């Protein structure tokens, strides 16, 4: 099939997609996304679930926010994170379908 007939995404968009997928391709970040798809959580709650120090969890969250996956909302002294990219649900379904899930995500 000639490439003129193929439906292709431009390379600039694919470069941006590859960068975001690279950000997502980390076990702690995937776990955080799994949690955030089920509700809003603080840095401390996400850090605990990933067995990470809070500053390291904050860095993971910052990277995912920069890519547009997450947003945050301050309530008093707490900052809650939530998924802002609806396509993450589909990506995580693929991951969970291929690699499995457990009711206790630890």
State the residue range of the domain holding 69. Answer: 27-99
What is the model's pTM?
Answer: 0.86
Compute the distance between CA of residue 54 and CA of residue 45 in angstroms, rounded to an integer. Answer: 9
Residue 53 lies inside a defined structural domain of this protein = yes
Residue 11 lies inside a defined structural domain of this protein = no
Residue 93 lies inside a defined structural domain of this protein = yes
Looking at residue 4, its pLDDT comes to: 73
Residue 18 lies inside a defined structural domain of this protein = no
Neighbours of 74 (CB within 10 A): 8
Residue 2 lies inside a defined structural domain of this protein = no
Nearest CA to 43 out of 56, 25, 57, 59 is that of 57
Question: Could you report the per-residue pLDDT of 28-83, keeping only the tens digit for each?
Answer: 999 999 999 999 999 999 999 999 999 999 999 999 999 999 999 999 999 999 99
For residue 37, give the CATH number of its domain: 1.10.10.10
């Amino acid at each position: 099939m000639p490439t003129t007939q193929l439906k292709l995404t431009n390379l600039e968009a694919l470069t941006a997609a590859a960068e975001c997928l690279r950000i997502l391709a980390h076990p702690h970040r995937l776990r955080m996304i799994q949690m955030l798809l089920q509700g809003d959580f603080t840095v401390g709650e996400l850090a605990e679930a990933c067995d990470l120090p809070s500053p390291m969890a904050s860095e993971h969250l910052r990277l995912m926010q920069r890519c547009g996956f997450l947003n945050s909302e301050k309530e008093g002294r707490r900052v809650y994170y939530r998924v802002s990219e609806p396509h993450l649900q589909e990506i995580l379904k693929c991951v969970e379908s291929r690699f499995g899930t457990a009711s206790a995500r630890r």
